[in-house]
A and B are shown apart, each in its own frame.
Chain A
């Protein structure tokens, strides 16, 4: 449904101007850049991706801009409507603290950090003409309502489970409503040809990410997981057109694919699963890699999973395009907001087998009930198959970095 400006209970957009908090947000980002610069054998042009993210809030705006939350939103619909999509989920611990001016402390840190950035008058979210927020978890559902004070929001309905046989036509109809909403904002309807072109662009991104990932499985030292995340997120969290990302990312791919190791790699291989790690909060990725693990693959919705699967078109009618987008974005998602966790379990087990991983680490975000509760089955299934498993419960603050280090080092010692 559309949450719009004619809501009789609309409030003035919440504001907060706290220079100390902004300085802290900038510090956290600079510190992450500094830390990643210490990665040994880092590919040459990673600075491009860092800069693309750090200038996101000041990028010049040449056409309508639509902000969205979650990986469940098919961005091609916005691109085909002549808008620049930009993902607005935020991971900065200081932004989460700013969000606590509005939301209670024991609310999901992702929701708090995301809202925290909206409170800045000149922040990236405020440059958007509309927002798309899937009704995924409770936090996102209610955040959609709060964000409607800033600009019109399309609260995208989702089925309770991702059984495509039951829900395909309903989801295609919802995406059609999203297309109409987007056209209302930009004045351009996403027709069949434009949608096909947009899908063509994201397929090229998927191809690059898939090949980067395959190269990392061969030689994890060719590209650290946090650099893969940086590369991927700079295409999602920046309003700059995807076309301008493809070429530097292709150059990175050439460099990574050409990597030849000097010696045999003996580090234990780990699969990372769980909650989203959003730039600049790569705390868990930092500690995992600094403690000597090779995180070879992930199922995070801000990692490879965010764009590794292409939309597959069997025919090119508008309806077929929307069904292909729903199949990729919604029915293929491993998000715990859906009833069954079978998709994620299958993916984790497949990745363990394909990569020869020695163990699985779950990044469990405190106050996210869905990931926390999925831990029950995940842990028992993995341990039942004699796959070592570690559940890391943490949030977006950096204060428990040392405690995480003890857990991860001890886990690696057991492998």
Chain B
């Protein structure tokens, strides 16, 4: 039996095809205007990557902000539950993961996982986008760097500047005055990563952190951020393979579990 998980996020859409043991194919696309179009496109891309025909897929689960707007999906789960399932499947060399940090384009989530892999507790950023991936994207643009250049600049810096603002709007004006003071782009880029990591650190501590923390979501692809988060939490940060599609994998696992039970 093969199932699919679609994660229709705020910035990108992700798909995973799953056969109960292995990942058969994955896809990530930038979002189209309508969640239903994004869902259709990313599903097709996922099928293509797995070399499968649509008719082979038994069930589809949707998650992410567009989960109810995706227009299809036999099952709808929240990204929090999907994330816990995905992390459970990914495994880690450090034993079972109990704390997960999921940094997306618009949301940051911290999830505490219990003995059975169930969600025990979670925290999310409320209302504003401070402390999310979008903050860093905006600052990269302000420094006239591509996102990759921005991350590399942060990794190069040995003396990160202290940034006061984690508000995406106010931080832009802070960057202007830092540049005017002659602070290098490297130091500003590193400072921005540190500011975000500090904010995330407080959220992780509120939920309660364990020795090893899994870092997933699009934000986990950013090495500079992973390093800053590790420093801020003073814990080992483990990044599973394909962190960006882990939530979609969790949705596919949820669909697989429900199909096997024969209940929808």
A35 CB to nearest B CB, Å? 16
Give the docked Cα–Cα distance between A393 and B128 (Å): 12
A372 CB to nearest B CB, Å? 11
Asked whether B136 is an interface residue with its Cβ less than 8 Å from the other chain, the reply is no
- The answer to whether A414 and B119 touch (CB under 8 A), given A402-B65, A406-B80, is yes
Q: Do B119 and A403 touch across chains, with their CB atoms under 8 A apart?
A: no
Give the docked Cα–Cα distance between A399 and B77 (Å): 22
Residues of B within 8 A of A400 (CB): 126-127
Give the docked Cα–Cα distance between A402 and B107 (Å): 12
Give the docked Cα–Cα distance between A332 and B118 (Å): 39
Residues of A within 8 A of B119 (CB): 410, 413-414
Give the docked Cα–Cα distance between A407 and B107 (Å): 11
Give the docked Cα–Cα distance between A52 and B255 (Å): 47
Which residues 123-165 in B have Cβ within 8 Å of A in the complex? 124, 126-127
Q: Do A413 and B77 touch across chains, with their CB atoms under 8 A apart?
A: yes
Which residues 185-202 in B have Cβ within 8 Å of A in the complex? none
B97 CB to nearest A CB, Å? 17
Asked whether A394 is an interface residue with its Cβ less than 8 Å from the other chain, the reply is yes
Chain A interface mostly: helix
Give the docked Cα–Cα distance between A150 and B122 (Å): 46
In the complex, per-residue mask of A376-415: 1 if CB is within 8 Å of any chain B CB, else 0: 0000000000000000011100011011001101100110
Q: Do A394 and B127 touch across chains, with their CB atoms under 8 A apart?
A: yes
A158 CB to nearest B CB, Å? 30
Give the docked Cα–Cα distance between A29 and B238 (Å): 48
A370 CB to nearest B CB, Å? 18
Q: Which residue of B lies closest to A399 (CB)?
A: B127
Q: Do A410 and B126 touch across chains, with their CB atoms under 8 A apart?
A: no
Asked whether B120 is an interface residue with its Cβ less than 8 Å from the other chain, the reply is yes
- The answer to whether A414 and B118 touch (CB under 8 A), given A402-B65, A409-B78, is yes
Q: Do A406 and B78 touch across chains, with their CB atoms under 8 A apart?
A: yes
Q: Which residue of B lies closest to A397 (CB)?
A: B127
Q: Do A403 and B126 touch across chains, with their CB atoms under 8 A apart?
A: yes
- Of A394, A409, A413, A414, the residue contacting B126 (CB under 8 A) is A394
Q: Do A406 and B127 touch across chains, with their CB atoms under 8 A apart?
A: no
Q: Which residue of A lies closest to B119 (CB)?
A: A414
A317 CB to nearest B CB, Å? 51
Give the docked Cα–Cα distance between A410 and B124 (Å): 11
- The answer to whether A403 and B127 touch (CB under 8 A), given A413-B119, A414-B119, is yes
Q: Which residue of B lies closest to A388 (CB)?
A: B121
- Of B79, B107, B120, the residue contacting A414 (CB under 8 A) is B120
A346 CB to nearest B CB, Å? 24
A412 CB to nearest B CB, Å? 9
A362 CB to nearest B CB, Å? 13
Q: Do B79 and A406 touch across chains, with their CB atoms under 8 A apart?
A: yes
B104 CB to nearest A CB, Å? 11
Give the docked Cα–Cα distance between A366 and B77 (Å): 28
Q: Do B77 and A406 touch across chains, with their CB atoms under 8 A apart?
A: no
Give the docked Cα–Cα distance between A407 and B126 (Å): 10
Residues of B within 8 A of A406 (CB): 65, 78-80, 107, 124
Which residues 72-110 in B have Cβ within 8 Å of A in the complex? 77-81, 107
A173 CB to nearest B CB, Å? 43
- 25 A–B pairs (Cβ distance < 8 Å), ordered by A: A366-B126, A393-B126, A394-B126, A395-B127, A400-B127, A403-B107, A403-B124, A403-B127, A406-B78, A406-B79, A406-B124, A407-B122, A409-B78, A410-B79, A410-B80, A410-B81, A410-B119, A413-B77, A413-B78, A413-B80, A413-B81, A413-B119, A414-B118, A414-B119, A414-B121
* Contact surface of B with A, Cβ cutoff 8 Å: 65, 77-81, 107, 118-122, 124, 126-127
* Contact surface of A with B, Cβ cutoff 8 Å: 366, 393-395, 399-400, 402-403, 406-407, 409-410, 413-414
* Given A400-B127, A413-B78, 18 further pairs, Cβ under 8 A: A366-B126, A393-B126, A394-B126, A394-B127, A395-B127, A400-B126, A406-B65, A406-B78, A406-B107, A410-B78, A410-B80, A410-B81, A410-B122, A413-B81, A413-B119, A414-B118, A414-B120, A414-B122
